[in-house]
Amino acid sequence: MRPSLLDPLFAPVTALPGVGPKLAPLYDRLLGTAEQPARVLDLLFHLPQAGIDRRTSGAIIDAPVGEVATFAARVVEHRPAPAGKGRAPYRVVVEDESGDVTLVFFKADAGRMRQMLPVGEIRYISGRIELWEGRRQMVHPDRVMDQRAFQTMPAIEAVYGMTEGLTSRMLARTTQAALARLPAMPEWQDAAWREHNRLPTFGEALAALHGPADVEALAPEAAARRRLAYDELLASQLALSLVRSVRKRARGRANSGDGALIRALAAALPYALTRSQSEAFDQIRADMAKPERMLRLLQGDVGSGKTAVAMMAMASAAEARRQSALMAPTEILARQHAERLHEQAKAIGLTLALLTGREKGPERARVLAGLADGSIDIVVGTHALFQDNVQFHDLGLAVVDEQHRFGVHQRLAIGAKGEAVDVLVMTATPIPRTLALTWFGDMDVSVLSEKPAGRKPITTRAVSLDRLDEVVGAVGRAVAAGAQVYWVCPLVQESETLDVSAATERFEALKEAFGTRVDLLHGQMPGRDKDAAMARFARGDSDILVATTVIEVGVDVPNATVMVIEHAERFGLAQLHQLRGRIGRGSAASTCILLYKGPLGPVAEARIATMRETEDGFVIAERDLKLRGEGEVLGTRQSGMPGFRIARPEIDGDLLLAARDDARLIVERDPGLVSPRGEALRLLLYLFERDAAVKLIGAG
């Protein structure tokens, strides 16, 4: 149960004065979700993006041109629009001893103007001054106030992200009402840490950010923002530490045998494992041999050989006479994994089956029966593996590929399919260290830092779309020389339909140039058609595969050595890197062409420059984090991922490391959160909605 102390914060915003039936839907649109209307807490965590200094600038002559200025002036003269010129502005001249300014209003009501700016009266005016034909003017001042109103105006006005129908001033008023409801909270931060970093209390921090004393109070490095960022990171890391400690307490079973199958598999592989593959497998095998459950992340750049390591782990489970499941995010990838691993499994006497949403009738019944009676050792599948009717004889290892496509709940769900299941999570999206801690802080991490021997570097070129004909000519020459080509079509907004139409148009144009050996692949095709197109390309029956980003993950055709990415400026860095990783998988030299439409903005330019400079996915991931921030590093925000409201991992890395260490110490010393600080930390978990972790306390 949520502590009653927090009830005022979890009340709907309609509990605040001034938020009636007319404004409530606007607050819901800005701060709520489909399931959850906006609450007082959402308003308090909706921090200002900037501040405007409304302190007086002194005399008019001293007011800086092009910046916001605030000054007192006497109203001298009204100049309404001349008769018959209705579109001309209404002008009002104001002055002080140093000079004058013309205030300009479009579509103004004369009566209202005279009421707001009576001739002869002093008014305080705030807005941006500009020069027009050598004279000072201010178009639509932000504020026109009498002495009384000026005295109540904050010196620094907070500027909030808004939605149509709400203004910054409305938000500021409602937020002050929300602050008045904030209960006095016990301190959950470590006293020595707070003192060393000179951090305010939780309430003081919120008040300082919503009522800034100066513009610097809203800077990323300001103590108030860092206080709240640390609170949010601590809540996240504490939740992950509690999950981890429950998993570690949960009884496990040893998942390893005499090593015979592993030795047989190593002998059957067409290549020797790299040093980092061997090290990663040793770590996994050591985890699987322990009586606790494994939860390990295997992080490797595109083409670094994660699947081979996963197969070794599955062989280890088979030695202990237990089953393994490998779960992939797409049907294409699941089928490819199954094809690739089938021969390896067969070589060492293991039975492997495929289970996706498409297996129906007798084939599906056969696989389900084999999983239930234990005659199938390894199953490769999609989300279909979560279904209730999928029962295992004795599942020992669950391998989850491309973890960022699945939420935390899903990786726990697959682990619940058996008794004491070890979980190995794989990602080919290199994740910056700070984000690895944020998203996978409950896991041990192994990194594959090398590519298998024989892989050639990929040459990356950026070419303007104006030179499309030259690129088509170069593709023709590559095909004539025996190469195969991916041509990836652009992301068009967030619309799958528009993506498909862009791919279809390019397919038709290339088919005209190259005939029938051009194929098309996109997400809206029926599954069998997708498989057929992919199989034709893999066999070499087609030379050019025009595709949407459906080929981004895992597709493996060693003979494909050219990748054209059309409208490269529309893709994120991680996605460009993933796509480029589809080539360079054989022994021939490969080329990636980034076709862009200029002029490029600074972020797109930086992305393309990074792609040309490096193939190192970890360098690319760090750059991507700096360019885009945490929310988008893995494409659009993924369900199950802890998006942050206040913390920004790209600038709060030091806080994240401190929060992780603090969380681990807390769980070691006070696993039940029963001490006075522990009780306060329970409030913190509820405040930042990591309260699922509270239910784990004492579990396992």
pLDDT tens for residues 638-657?
A: 333 446 889 887 788 889 88
pLDDT at 588 over 90: no
Helix, strand, coil percent content, the chain, rounded in steps of 5: 45, 20, 35
The arithmetic mean of pLDDT across residues 190-211, rounded, is 96
**Does one domain contain both 89 and 35?**
no
Report the C-alpha gap between 700 and 671 in whole angstroms. Answer: 12
**Does one domain contain both 462 and 581?**
yes
**Does one domain contain both 400 and 268?**
yes
Report the C-alpha gap between 490 and 487 in whole angstroms. Answer: 10
Q: Which two tokens stand for residue 245?
A: 């400690």
The arithmetic mean of pLDDT across residues 96-104, rounded, is 94
Which has the minimum average pLDDT: 266-275, 623-632, 660-669, 688-697?
Answer: 623-632
Look up tokens 């409801």; give the residue.
181
Report the C-alpha gap between 468 and 287 in whole angstroms. Answer: 52
* In a domain? residue 387: yes
Q: For residue 196, what pLDDT is reported?
A: 96
**Does one domain contain both 164 and 149?**
no
Give the start-end residues of each E strand in 291-417: 295-300, 323-327, 352-355, 378-381, 395-401
pLDDT at 691 over 90: no
Q: How confident is the model at residue 682 (pLDDT cuts 50, 70, 90)?
A: very high
Q: Which two tokens stand for residue 274?
A: 């790299």
Report the C-alpha gap between 539 and 339 in whole angstroms. Answer: 13
Counting the structural domains of the chain, the total is: 4
Q: For residue 631, what pLDDT is reported?
A: 42
Report the C-alpha gap between 547 and 523 in whole angstroms. Answer: 9
Q: For residue 632, what pLDDT is reported?
A: 42
Q: For residue 435, what pLDDT is reported?
A: 64
CATH at residue 483: 3.40.50.300
**Does one domain contain both 475 and 501?**
yes
Buried b / exposed e along 90-102 (16+ C-beta atoms within 10 A): bbbbbebeeebbb
**Does one domain contain both 306 and 370?**
yes
The arithmetic mean of pLDDT across residues 76-95, rounded, is 89
Residue 120: CB partners within 8 Å, gap ≥ 6?
74, 75
* In a domain? residue 136: yes
Q: For residue 570, what pLDDT is reported?
A: 86
The arithmetic mean of pLDDT across residues 388-413, rounded, is 75
Query: What is the layout of strands, in order, in the sheet containing 99-105?
Result: 130-132, 135-139, 99-105, 90-96, 68-79, 122-128, 143-145
* In a domain? residue 121: yes
pLDDT tens digits along 335-358: 889 988 999 999 999 999 999 888
Q: How confident is the model at residue 582 (pLDDT cuts 50, 70, 90)?
A: confident
* In a domain? residue 244: no
Structural domain harbouring 537 = 458-614
Report the C-alpha gap between 566 and 475 in whole angstroms. Answer: 13
pLDDT at 474 over 80: yes
* In a domain? residue 330: yes
The arithmetic mean of pLDDT across residues 626-644, rounded, is 48
Residue 440: CB partners within 8 Å, gap ≥ 6?
297, 403, 425, 431
The arithmetic mean of pLDDT across residues 509-536, rounded, is 87
Q: Which two tokens stand for residue 20?
A: 């009636």
Q: CA torsion, points 253, 258, 264, 267, in degrees to nearest 10? A: 100
Report the C-alpha gap between 48 and 495 in whole angstroms. Answer: 31
The arithmetic mean of pLDDT across residues 567-574, rounded, is 86
pLDDT tens digits along 594-627: 999 989 888 889 999 999 998 887 788 778 777 7
pLDDT at 629 over 60: no
Backbone angles phi, psi at 478, to 5 degrees: -65, -45
Q: For residue 638, what pLDDT is reported?
A: 35
**Does one domain contain both 320 and 403?**
yes
**Does one domain contain both 195 and 324?**
no
pLDDT at 455 over 90: no
Q: Read off the DSSP letter of residue 455.
A: P
Instruction: Name the nearest CA neighbour of 594 among 565, 614, 552, 563.
Output: 565
Give the residue from 135, 153, 171 where a domain finishes.
153
* In a domain? residue 633: no
Report the C-alpha gap between 648 and 314 in whole angstroms. Answer: 38
Residue 319: CB partners within 8 Å, gap ≥ 6?
256, 257, 258, 259, 260, 261, 262
Are 463 and 500 in contact, with CB atoms under 8 Å apart?
Answer: no
Q: Is 619 helix (H, G, I), strand (E, B) or coil?
A: helix
Q: Which two tokens stand for residue 584?
A: 């360079």
**Does one domain contain both 415 and 553?**
no
Q: For residue 628, what pLDDT is reported?
A: 62
Q: For residue 681, what pLDDT is reported?
A: 96
pLDDT at 403 over 50: yes
Q: How confident is the model at residue 116 (pLDDT cuts 50, 70, 90)?
A: very high
The helix or strand, by DSSP H or E, that contains position 72, with its residue range, turns out to be strand 68-79
- pLDDT, greater one: 645 or 180: 180
pLDDT at 634 over 50: no
Report the C-alpha gap between 391 and 407 in whole angstroms. Answer: 22
Of all residues in the chain, the percent with pLDDT exceeding 90 is 52
Q: For residue 389, what pLDDT is reported?
A: 86
**559 CB neighbour count, 10 Å cutoff:** 16
**Does one domain contain both 25 and 73?**
no
The arithmetic mean of pLDDT across residues 667-672, rounded, is 92
Report the C-alpha gap between 511 and 243 in whole angstroms. Answer: 53
**250 CB neighbour count, 10 Å cutoff:** 13
Report the C-alpha gap between 631 and 423 in whole angstroms. Answer: 26
* In a domain? residue 631: no
Give the residue from 583, 614, 645 where a domain finishes.
614
**Does one domain contain both 362 and 438?**
yes
Give the residue from 423, 448, 473 where a domain finishes.
448
Q: For residue 552, what pLDDT is reported?
A: 53
pLDDT at 670 over 60: yes
Q: For residue 637, what pLDDT is reported?
A: 37
Q: Which two tokens stand for residue 199?
A: 């951090």
Are 640 and 442 in contact, with CB atoms under 8 Å apart?
Answer: no
pLDDT at 7 over 60: yes
Q: Is 432 helix (H, G, I), strand (E, B) or coil?
A: coil
Q: For residue 643, what pLDDT is reported?
A: 64
pLDDT at 384 over 60: yes
Q: Which two tokens stand for residue 663?
A: 């969380």
Report the C-alpha gap between 121 and 146 in whole angstroms. Answer: 9
pTM over the 0.75 mark: no
pLDDT tens digits along 23-64: 999 999 999 887 789 999 999 999 998 899 998 888 999 888
- pLDDT, greater one: 65 or 572: 65
**Mean of all residue pLDDT scores within the chain:** 86
pLDDT at 699 over 50: no
CATH at residue 115: 2.40.50.140
Which has the minimum average pLDDT: 58-67, 79-88, 170-179?
Answer: 79-88
Instruction: Name the nearest CA neighbour of 154 among 77, 34, 70, 232.
Output: 70
**676 CB neighbour count, 10 Å cutoff:** 11
* In a domain? residue 332: yes
**Does one domain contain both 144 and 171?**
no
